[in-house]
Amino acid sequence: MIEVRIHGRGGQGNVAAAYLLAAAAIGEGWHALAFPAFGAERRGAPVAAFVRMDRRAFRRRDQVARPHFLIVQDAALLHVPGVLAGLRPEGGLLVNAAREPAGADLPPKRFAVPATRLAQEHLGRPVPNTVLLAVFLTLTGLLPVAALERAVAARFRGPVLEANKALIAAAAKLPPPGAWAVEETDAAGA
Amino acid sequence: MPQALEGSQAIARAVALCRPQVVSAYPITPQTHIVENLARLVADGALACEFVSVESEHSAASVVLGAAAAGARAYTASASQGILLMSEVLYNIAGLRLPLVLTCANRALSAPLSIWNDQQDSMAVRDAGWIQLYCAGNQEAVDTTIQAFRIAQDTELPVMVCVDGFTLTHTLEPIEIPDQAAVDAFLPPLHFARALDPARPLSLGTLVSPEWFTEARHSQHGALLAAAADIEAADRDWAAATGRAWGGLLEVDGPQDARIGLLTLGSISGTMADARAASPDLPPVRLLRLRAFRPFPAAALQAACAGLETLVVLERALSPGGEGIVTAEVRAALYGREPAPAVRGFAVGLGGRDVPMAIYRRAVEAALAPGEGTFAILDVDPRRLPAEDRYPDLAPPAARGAEEEAT
Amino acid sequence: MNEESSDSTPVPDVAALRRRQPRFQGLEAGHRACLGCAQALAARLVLEAAGPDVAVANATGCLEVFTTPWPESAWRVPWVHSLFENAGAVASGLEAAFKAQGRAAKVLAFAGDGGTFDIGFQSLSGMIERHHDVLYVCYDNEAYMNTGVQRSSSTPHAAATTTSPAGRARLGKRHLKKDILSIVAAHHMPYAATASVAYPSDLRKKVRRAVAVEGPTFLLIHSPCPLGWGHDGSRSIEIARLAVESGLVPLIELERGELTGAMPIRAVRPVTDYLKAQARFRHLFADTPEAHRELEHLQALADHNIEVYGLRGAGADPRDTAGADTVRRGGARWA
């Protein structure tokens, strides 16, 4: 079982990112759930969403308390209390930032990608989530990047879809493939 | 092949597959995505129905009441304060014996204001005369929605399908959406014998004197109890069509030799099941899940408790000043049975508090602890309250030690 | 138009006329209304004109109570009573269902002034805003009569009720009657009108007019209540007529908010003729400056109506001969 927590701000497509990742996993035959950390929906407010995925079926619906990975859509959120909470010691931190963030409290396994800039270039909109997911899948090797493409294709059509595909391809080239490859852990992990 | 769908989206698709003729609703978090998805299906021409966007939940319930009285298949959805605002109409719909379906996206009641999940809202209308079915997951929510339309027309009673707000409504997961032919075969067109029709005028909702009121209630009570068979039949027939069954009235899962039982409703059931699998060090536990709360499956519960010494009830509501609502009903159903398990009731997950797998261990430990209290809010943290609000006598077993440490 | 219905000479034998003109009886005799209940008469007149192809959503109130003591019912049209404040929404649901089923029945909503002006106002407003094809009829007896004569927002200024009694310190209701017709008309309302049981031909004509509109329509029918107003049941029609002739109850029609019809008053009567006939205004005839002032207020209200709606003048044919054929067709089906 792999557990991911995604942090962002309202309006950044945080829940959409969680849904896309879970949809990509479901498309690959995994059992996956994606759900928001239930908060009021206001633009700009810090928000979180969860993804829990496993090759075997599971039934639990509690929130993700000890994620294997954190995806942070806004580097400024790293200073918000609780954002790093519960990350497993061997866990990875993927941040939307031009430079890799530094700090004693940050995990050793971390990677930065200028996702907003890249999205702006390809889509003309500052939506970092697709870039981050493509980088995430390349780093972890959990799912083929094509699975993300297929999940995106279920949401978009025409030129927007083509732009997203190009964006995914460009983003997937950025990180070292498989650098964060993990063994799947047991559902009893919590 | 299952699709990746948000719960609300899947429920809306299930409703559309049932070919409702009138849908009426008023938006309220966390029900909104269900009606937004239905509105989208109507706007896209994928669902041909009268979609009546009203000015209040009271009117939403009244519109579907009128539509059902005219013989149309009708649907509405709400939550929380919306259910309370509807409550007057909900009683009326049930008393008029009108078949229709309502999805309750379970949410806490104010005050204090909370938009998050518990089950106080549907429990507050427990006595309205509706069938109430609680879903553990979104596949079950889809299947139960379809079953609900069948049950409603088989029983001429309204059916409330309860799905935990956010935990189900806002969760994306793999869901099989049945094909239209399967639903059409399962759910024949509605022919409501008492439909209002100028060619055969009937008076519906008349004034009933003491001479007749008691008999009206008797007949309603009997009809609700008799609906148990229709709920089981719908689940059985649906299983025959799709291979998926959801336990009818009461889902029982666990070893025959278990001495401890754990009873839940709704979406925490799955978390408890996974927690049991992850806790081999604990004694065996039989999991009971109340799918039907009305009619209350007393006989099925009595049978499912065979051999149990303790039954722990976990519920997401309470009757302040009384105890757990479900707990009290479980006690009543088991009272005087020999042998019957001791019943320990706990409220958990109020106002959206997460119910983690660790709650399972606490529930089992509570079952093993001798002579502990009979009802408490299990996940309360009294240390966060001023001393005068802690009420140490009400503290749950495991929190009691923590409270002592803090003082 | 045939000979019988175009006959405009006075007919002395009413029973003979009714035998010759079998009208559709949607509300049967034998119900349990009080003697002289104008609402019962008004409901019968509405259904005579609307015909049998209707379904009624009835709010809680006298009309519902006295017509349906289970297991009896006085209704010969499909009829549903749900609650006090939701007649507009229940009617909306009936209409939506008929539309979805491709059925042609016209939906009528019946409510009193409590269920219309007050507790049911939101539901009525929603029904109009959503443009449901419903004729909403308010039987206005100007107080909560079903619960024993408590004030409503339709109770006229200075009228005594059990919750606005006249005493040493108060002269009945302190507030004005709500102008529900203007409020309803402000919803871009295709047709909204007032009628009175004292003018049955006018009432039926307005019902037929409203039923012909595809969309929401509203009819406010002034309906005296002998019990609540304090008059003998035999005088209900006379008192309803005095209300119109004094100008206190203008009979008008509004289309899309514009005044398109007003029944002229041939000989305007002083409001005291209307008021002194009812016990609910008895305290206004005490010889005190306060009582005199209130009478002047009420006369000013009537004068205002006459002025604003242009009610003074010669009248048109009040006998409603034009609609007789329609009525007969409705009746024939159920004869």
Domains and CATH numbers, chain A: 2-182 (3.40.920.10)
Q: What percent of chain C is predicted at pLDDT more than 70? A: 87
* pLDDT tens digit sequence for B157-178: 999 999 999 999 999 999 999 9
Q: Please tell me if residue C32 touches chain B, with a CB cutoff of 8 Å.
A: no
Cβ neighbour number for residue B27 with a 10 Å cutoff? 18
A61 → closest Cβ in B2, B6, B167: B167
- Cα B233 to Cα A173, B136, B146, C217, distances in angstroms: 55, 19, 13, 46
Enumerate the β-bridge partners of residue B313.
B263, B345
Cross-chain residue pair B205–C98, CB shorter than 8 Å: no
Report the candidate in C242, C190, C220 with the shortest Cα–Cα distance to residue C109. C220
| 3 state SS for B226-273 | HHHHHHHHHHHHHHHHHCCCCCCCEEEECCCCCCEEEEECCCHHHHHH
Report the candidate in C240, C142, C254, C250 with the shortest Cα–Cα distance to residue C199. C240
Chain B residue numbers touching A186 (CB-CB < 8 A): 278
pLDDT band at C327, cuts 50/70/90?
Answer: very low
pLDDT at B260 exceeding the cut of 90: yes
Chain B residue numbers touching C123 (CB-CB < 8 A): 55-56, 58-59, 62
C90 → closest Cβ in B50, B66, B200: B66
Mean pLDDT of C3-24: 63
How far away is chain B from the Cα of C136, in angstroms, using its nearest Cα? 15
Helix (H, G, I), strand (E, B) or coil at A6: strand
Q: Please tell me if residue C108 touches chain B, with a CB cutoff of 8 Å.
A: no
Q: Which of A34-43, B29-38, B156-165, C157-166 has the lowest mean pLDDT?
A: A34-43
Locate B296 and state its tokens.
Answer: 């209350």
What residue of A is the nearest CA neighbor of B275?
A: A188
Chain A residue numbers touching B4 (CB-CB < 8 A): 19, 22-23, 26-27, 32, 151, 154
At residue C10, the pLDDT reads 65
pLDDT at B386 exceeding the cut of 80: yes
Mean pLDDT of C21-31: 86
At residue B407, the pLDDT reads 38
Question: CA–CA separation, B123 vs B118, rounded Å?
Answer: 10
pLDDT band at C19, cuts 50/70/90?
Answer: low
Cross-chain residue pair B4–A36, CB shorter than 8 Å: no
Cross-chain residue pair C75–B201, CB shorter than 8 Å: yes
Q: First CA to last CA across chain B, in angstroms?
A: 56
Q: What's the mean pLDDT when you consider all of chain C?
A: 90
Enumerate the β-bridge partners of residue B64.
none
Chain A residue numbers touching B173 (CB-CB < 8 A): 22, 26, 31-34
How far away is chain C from the Cα of B94, in angstroms, using its nearest Cα? 11
C73 → closest Cβ in B60, B200, B206: B206
Locate B223 and state its tokens.
Answer: 């009809």
pLDDT at B405 exceeding the cut of 50: no
With contact defined as 3+ CB pairs under 8 Å, the chains touching C are: B
Report the candidate in B100, B92, B69, B67 with the shortest Cα–Cα distance to residue B195. B69
Residues near B42 by Cβ (< 8 Å), separated by ≥ 6? B23, B48, B49, B51
Q: What's the mean pLDDT when you consider all of chain B?
A: 95
How far away is chain B from the Cα of A45, in angstroms, using its nearest Cα? 17
pLDDT at C1 exceeding the cut of 50: no
Cross-chain residue pair B3–A151, CB shorter than 8 Å: no
Prediction pTM value: 0.93
Q: Please tell me if residue C131 touches chain B, with a CB cutoff of 8 Å.
A: no
Cross-chain residue pair B174–A26, CB shorter than 8 Å: yes
Q: What letters, b where the CB count within 10 A reaches 16 and e where it falls short, cover C237-269?
A: bebbbbbbbbbbbbbbbbbeeeeebbbebeeeb
What residue of B is the nearest CA neighbor of A150?
A: B4
Cross-chain residue pair B212–C71, CB shorter than 8 Å: yes
Q: Please tell me if residue C334 touches chain B, with a CB cutoff of 8 Å.
A: no
Q: Quick check: B28 and B191 in contact, CB under 8 A?
A: no
Cross-chain residue pair B198–C76, CB shorter than 8 Å: no
Residues near A162 by Cβ (< 8 Å), separated by ≥ 6? none
| Amino acid symbol at B169 | T
Enumerate the β-bridge partners of residue B173.
B5
Cross-chain residue pair C96–B66, CB shorter than 8 Å: yes
Half-sphere exposure of B22 (CA within 13 A, CB side): 35
pLDDT at C191 exceeding the cut of 80: yes
At residue A12, the pLDDT reads 84
pLDDT at B406 exceeding the cut of 50: no
Cross-chain residue pair C82–B74, CB shorter than 8 Å: no
C78 → closest Cβ in B24, B49, B201: B201
Mean pLDDT of C162-186: 96
Chain C residue numbers touching B22 (CB-CB < 8 A): 93, 96-97, 100
pLDDT band at A102, cuts 50/70/90?
Answer: confident
Locate A120 and state its tokens.
Answer: 């702006």
pLDDT band at C313, cuts 50/70/90?
Answer: confident
Sign of CA dihedral B124, B130, B135, B139: negative
Question: CA–CA separation, B199 vs B374, rounded Å?
Answer: 59
* pLDDT tens digit sequence for A106-143: 999 999 999 999 999 999 999 999 999 999 999 999 99
At residue B401, the pLDDT reads 46
In the block, which residue shows the tokens 């059985």?
B236
* pLDDT tens digit sequence for C231-249: 999 999 999 999 999 999 9
User: CA angle C44-C50-C53, nearest 5°?
Assistant: 115
Question: CA–CA separation, B343 vs B328, rounded Å?
Answer: 9
Enumerate the β-bridge partners of residue C217.
C135, C191
List the 43-72 stretch of C: residues with Cβ below 8 A of B: 52-55, 57-58, 64-65, 68-71
Half-sphere exposure of B143 (CA within 13 A, CB side): 25
Helix (H, G, I), strand (E, B) or coil at A145: helix
At residue B370, the pLDDT reads 77
At residue A5, the pLDDT reads 97
Chain B interface, mutation test: which of A52, A58, A60, most B Cβ atoms within 10 Å?
Answer: A60
- In 3-state terms, chain B is what percent helix, strand and coil (to 5)? 45, 20, 40
Sign of CA dihedral A153, A159, A162, A163: negative
Locate C113 and state its tokens.
Answer: 């002034």
Residues near A132 by Cβ (< 8 Å), separated by ≥ 6? A17, A71, A73, A94, A96, A113, A115, A171
Enumerate the β-bridge partners of residue B250.
B290
